[in-house]
Every structure is written in C-alpha cells, then in structure tokens.
Amino acid sequence: MSDGGSGNKMWGGRFASGPDAIMEAINASIDFDKKLYAEDIAGSKAHAAMLAAQGIISPSDAQSITEGLDTILSEMERGEFAYSARLEDIHMNVESRLAELIGPAAGRLHTARSRNDQVAVDFRLWVKKTAQKTHAQLRDLMEAFLQKAESHAGTVMPGFTHLQTAQPVTFGHHCMAYVEMFARDRSRFADAIRRMDECPLGAAALAGTSFPIDRHATAAALGFREPTRNSLDSVSDRDFALEFLAATSICATHLSRLAEEIVLWSTPQFSFIRLSDRFSTGSSIMPQKRNPDAAELVRAKTGRINGALIALLTVMKGLALTYSKDMQEDKEAVFDAAESLELAILAMTGMIADMTINEESMQAAAGAGFSIATDLADWLVREIGMPFREAHHVTGRAVAIAEEKDCGLEELTLAELQSVDPRITQEAFGVLSVEKSVASRSSFGGTAPDNVRAQAQAWRERLSAQGSDEAV
C-alpha cells in the first residue's frame, strides 16, 4: 500500500512515489524521537542565529525562523502539536510545521546541516542533560545514606561474607559503603559528561560544508565546551550514549545489590529494617504481608537497563563509517534505561530516608555465628605473641567447644579456653563483645564508630564544597 503516489515532499524529487505502509512503519521514528523536541528546537535556533551572523541567510529570515520555532515549541509543550509518522522523525515534523507557519523561509534553515548532524546534536544534548540530572539525583541518595550513617554510627550489625556471619560491623559503616559506591557512579556520569561535551552540529552529512559556518558559535550557544573535531566521527559517534548506558548499568547494579539487602533485611527472619507504608504493598489474600515491592522492582529494572547497553553495543558493533539507518535504534534503549534508572534512584532514596532500623535485631544478630572469633585470634597475636596462623587454629578449637556447648565464645569459662591454650588469661574476655570488636577496627576505612562519623563528615564537606548545583 502506498500513500497515493504523492510521495514524501520532504524527500524532494529523487523519489517518485511514496513509501509502502510497511516501509513507512519501519522507517518512522517519530513515536520515540519526539522526546527530543526541545533539543531539536534549540539546535535549530542556534543554527539559524549562526547562519544569520555569518551572512548565509538574512536577518529577517532568521527572525522568522526563530519566531516560528518558538511557536512550534509552545504547541509541543501544550500538547497541541500534530505529529505525523509520514514525516518520519522529529526533524521533518518540525521543518514541515515551520513551512506552514512562515512559508519558504523555512527551507533556508537546513542550509549547511544534515539530519545526520542534527540528530547527533539533539541526542547528545538530551543525554548530557539526563546525565546531569542523574548526577544530581545520586547526590540526594548519598545524602540519605549519610543521614542514616550519622544516626547509626554505633549501631552494631553482622557483617557478611558468602551471606554468612563474618565479623561485627556497624550499620553506619554499611551505609557508608553505599556512599562510596554511588560516589563512584556520580564520577562516572561526570566523566561521561566531560567527554560528550562537544558539539557535532555543522558536520553536515559526513564531510562538513562549503558554507562559512561558525561551529564554535553554535557549540557555545548550545552549552557545549567546543565543537567536535572530525566530521566523520561527529555523525557516526554514539560513544556518548554507550558510555551513559555503561554508567547507568553499573549504577543499576549497585542499586540492585542494595535492593537485595533491603528485601532480605525486611523479612521476619532478619527483621533488621521496616520499610515505610509508602514503599510497601500488601497481599490480596494474606493480610499480614508487607511486601518490599519497590525494592524488588529496583532489582528487576537492572535487567532492562543492562539489556539496553547490550542492545546498543550490538547495533554499533558492525557499522562502517559514517551514518547508517541502524543508528535510529540508538534512542529507545537509552530513553528506557534513563527512565528506569531515574525511577530506581528516586524509589531507593525514599526507601532509605523512610526506613526504620531495628537496632535490637541487628544487635542480636551481630553476635551470632561466632562473629567475634577473629578478635580472640587477634588478642592471641597481640598479647602473647602467637603467630596468626597458630592463633587461627587455637581460636577454631575454642569455637568447636562453644558449638558443642551451644553457647557463644564469651560464654566459655576461662578453664575451657585454657584447655585449648594455657596461655589465655582472663583479659581475653575484654575483647569478646561486638561493641568492643567494632570499636577496635579503627584502621583507616574500618568500621569503628569514630571512623564512620569522620568519614560521614568528610563526605558532607566534600559535597558541600562542590555546591548544590556543581558543574560537571
């Protein structure tokens, strides 16, 4: 089925008949790239202003173009713009409407540019803006963790390896681990922003243009640091989108690990935390249930975010320079991943800020599983000069006795400890508590409460020094 032979007038005279309906459906991208409308208008306004400044188009045409673009932007923001799939994409939709509004002058806007550099600048602007927003949202998440870390710098809990009780730590220290993780995520987005802060507008189709354009002017007008330096790379590069997705995937993985802990901690078996009603749901059949659905959905969204990265890597892996239509498939994955990550960060920020900490359950669990065994081994090394491997063996034998008696190490008698090694004295019991264990871990980066408070304060000062609206 054709469009009646009228053709797509935006294509010009090269094509005598319009596309078949199937071709139109597979070729059109307006259903998703209309998300770039603000960036497309901004890029066109900057281009028109530059063309006029360089004497390539008249000031009156530039003014008409700018006024027409402002009208189109207003229509789009009010939801009154009539998008057409027959015009393929956001660029052609805007140009067609501009022609309706201002007549032939609209045709001058596309002088010295192509849809190839136009979509490259639109998409890059959108990704840059989104990465900046993500960078700011991660700051809010870090702030939520800092508040919890400061409030619970001395709240003991079990630290785990292999999800088995290992050594006591503090909940504040656990929170600070996520501060470090999300700080690295922020730095990855900041690094990506610095690399993508180059403007491809003016590269035209692939080879640049013979018109005397000023690419530095359009780059500055659009908030870029500088123009890109190679026209071939300008229109074929999607590294900025790939790097954004890579940073997004790593961040989502961190969020997923946190979500898994929240799911575990909120069970009756752990009972470490209680999520607020805002981030819990009930059961249609079991009235007692409080389900951590928000955390579970954060965990699940990592799959689609990771999938977006793999999808775009796969699209790009076989493309010769420069532009190919394959690259139309770059946007949906990025849009979806960005939306998924934003929801995940906002949900997690809310969960962390609202959650209630069950200090008693954490305290009880912190001492289970012989978590202070290493403290006895360290005492043997420190106080009687025993080699650590021997101290490890001696402590293991003490643990075996405690297991047989179904009691903690601190509940053994001195005689029982001395049956393992007669050099053990009453002073050994001075280290056999979870509070003394965490307090003793005062090495830099350790779990001691004073360390936690110092690190939280250091991070607050670092974030404050950067400012609430820091440039990245």
- Locate tokens 């802990």: which residue? 261
State whether the Cα torsion 421-422-425-426 is positive or negative: positive
Assign 6 to helix, strand or coil: coil
Annotated active-site residue in 162, 443, 464, 468:
162
Type of residue found at 84: S
Count of beta carbons in the 10 Å neighbourhood of residue 57 = 23
- Contacts (Cβ under 8 Å, ≥6 apart) of 308: 245, 248, 249, 333, 334, 336, 337
What does the DSSP 8-state code read for residue 366? H
Place of tokens 């009539």: 82
Q: How many residues does the chain have?
A: 472
Neighbours of 263 (CB within 10 A): 18
How far apart CA 416 and CA 305 sit, in angstroms, is 55
Cα three-residue angle 452-456-458, rounded to 5 degrees: 115
Dist. CA 53–CA 41, nearest whole Å: 18
Q: Is 162 a catalytic residue?
A: yes
283 a catalytic residue: yes
Query: 335: how many CB neighbours lie within 10 A of its CB?
Result: 18
> Which of these is catalytic: 276, 283, 324, 442?
283
Residues with a catalytic annotation lie at 162, 283
